[in-house]
Amino acid sequence: DSILLVIGSIVSIFPRWWSLCVGRILIGIGAGIGFITCTVLLYDTTPYRYRPSAYFIFALLYSFALFLANLIPLIGIFNYSLMSLLTILPAFIPGILYLLIHILASSTDFTYISEKNILVMPQRPFTFCYLLMALNASIGVPLYQSFSSVIFTSLRVSAQLALYLSTLYPLLQLLLLFRVRNTTLRRRQLVIGGYAFAIVIFALLLT
């Protein structure tokens, strides 16, 4: 995923429509793979008592990247090249850091088990998971987060107000993260509560 982040960031800088689309798709796939697999990595490498802090840092970085991507177009004082450069930094810098960590890592200790205990998984579920991650990150996530102003505009919100709402959305994410950091919430509460809250907000926008 680090290679996809770096290549996608470089391709996005060129002032061409096709390069922007291709670059964003590559960044989306890389971010999607990293976002899904980072939970497994943290589970295997982080002690239990440190996992909330680790997840909190990842969530902060994710929301701050969305906030930066929506704030820069709102300012409107940069040319296209500089604006593209600033918006790809949240993807380019982690990609470079991931590559450096992979290169500088000394060695990995593997635990070998007998062949009779190895569970052989079919390849189709893995392929299907990769496909879902790619679709989610390259189509769904950029549409309703990085390009949420398009959705607000389609809901008959003025273009200027849509820009403000798009910037407010990741800012609210940051505030909620700090608010619930010391609160113990179950996964069911987060999923059902977040879904219900999203439906209420969407209904208010439609009225």
- The span from the CA of 94 to the CA of 58, in Å, is 11
Report yes or no on 113 lying in a domain.
no
**What integer pLDDT is reported at residue 133 of this predicted model?**
62
Q: How confident is the model at residue 105, as a pLDDT?
A: 59
And the tokens for 12? 């996005």
pLDDT of residue 4: 83
In a domain, 111, yes or no: no
Residue 116 within any structural domain of the chain = no
Question: What's the pLDDT score for residue 161?
Answer: 80
pLDDT of residue 57: 74
114, part of any domain: no
The model scores a pTM over 0.85: no
Domain that holds residue 19: 2-104+121-206
Residue 139 inside a domain? The answer is yes
How many structural domains does the chain have? 1
User: Using CA atoms, how far apart are residues 200 and 195, in angstroms rounded to an integer?
Assistant: 9
pLDDT value of position 110? 45
Secondary structure of the chain as H, E, C letters: CHHHHHHHHHHHHCCCHHHHHHHHHHHHHHHHHHHHHHHHHHHHHCCHHHHHHHHHHHHHHHHHHHHHHHHHHHHCCCCHHHHHHHHHHHHHHHHHHHHHHHHHCCCCCCCCCCHHHCCCCCHHHHHHHHHHHHHHHHHHHHHHHHCHHHHHHHCCCCHHHHHHHHHHHHHHHHHHHHHCCCCCCCHHHHHHHHHHHHHHHHHHHHC
Please give the pLDDT value at position 100.
Answer: 79
> Tell me, what's the pLDDT at 203?
80
Q: What's residue 10's pLDDT? A: 87
Which residues in the chain land under pLDDT 70? 36, 73, 76-78, 104-151, 184-185, 187, 205, 207
